[in-house]
Structure 1
């Protein structure tokens, strides 16, 4: 009961109104300072979402600045009288600063990860619990109990307190490393590297190096002998050579794709029959998005070992084509003019290089023509421009009286009302002509 007696004594002897005004004043000064500072940085395009957020109170800078102001006031007031509310406010603001910083870094680094959201909640509850224990003065007793619990790991013993401190220090170090990597990407890579693929290379290398250094520093803090990691490194090498060779191959292939720049983010490619635009090149796989919104996850090894068509030219022009068959007696000059006119009338079709028409083959039903044309905005969709060209082409052919051959009919067997089977000839393509029974 000594702890609670001391709390009650501090509460009775403290000047509640004075401490209340100090806390409110510190919060107001922090709000005004963060709002002014954040507005000035946003005008220059340098405001960090981690520290300032979308609103003055949503970032980590607001609780940090309030913590510094109120803690400074606590150091002064403590010389003259016992404090209670100032100590509570400092503990809460310290916890809120850590929670805000960790949550903003994780949400910025892993924006779509549900596991990170769960980790944020668990970490927040743990920090708030430590803050409550610190405020009540129970934290030394709890840490003493945790230190008395020992765990045996092989030939060594470790207490539960050291294990928890090691996990927390390693986690905080990883978050700090991710924040440093984010700053490096924002202020160095994005400013000095214009190519998206090279940005990805720089960011991947930065994260790997910083995370490795941070992990080694965290292990040394806990007391792990780093020389013992040489055995682990050999085991990892053997694992990569046998069980993890595909993962290692995809990982190395990703860096090769980015460094060689044969394929770049934004290129339109065709891989194994799937055609789309490269939206991201990750360490193990590449994301390709088709014009209809579908995405293909392609292992990076596939881009190195198999045939990949890069449909994007050096000047970012994208080739499309339409193939059509007309009657054998059609005027080939008129058909060519109709095909060229259907493409030229579309605003998205480039005039340089101009659309072209080729008579590519003599097929069973007539003459086969191919219309080729270029666009420079495939990200706006390829199916819609193809549809516009085809509709204009079909309308012009019908107006000019050009004959379009009827596709070969397909015979289907349909049940007759009296139970006998009857064959019905159905056109392969949709037609307005009535069905003809035989």
Structure 2
């Protein structure tokens, strides 16, 4: 008969499953990364709420308030994700790579488009140019009929619709006629005379 096999000792089994100091250190960093992400998740909601309330008190349009809250939420969450990965992987390279990638994306391909949207956001927020204003830009004169996030629509004296990228309004000098100026008064009289001319 062969030699009977002896069962492994309980101590040796526990020793095989014991955690090394390196394992404990890794778990601690992963846990810290999870805590950091939760903190940023809560902070994103708080920041979005406070920003929305502040914009509402300033009388900003509802769509701009919603957009601002979403942008703030996404930005804070994005920073939180990169910070959490930095803790989890015990390196700041993840954050640096994320920032570099975002910079490259913003610099190529969509730079002008983003510039139009960002400019439109500030135009709607600051409200220096509003619907009904009579403006002069690059030799074109007309009345603002709509301000969107990317473009502003201007009705010229000839009845044409001028589509102006918001980056143009944000980076170039724009003359906004006063409501009671002779030019604005003459434009209103011309608009009022058009129906009578058509009837005649």
Q: TM-score normalised by the shorter chain: which range applies?
A: 0.3 to 0.5
Computing the radius of gyration from Cα coordinates, the structure with the larger value is 1
**Larger RCO, structure (CA 8 Å, separation 6 or more):** 2
TM-score by length of 2: 0.47
TM-score by length of 1: 0.25
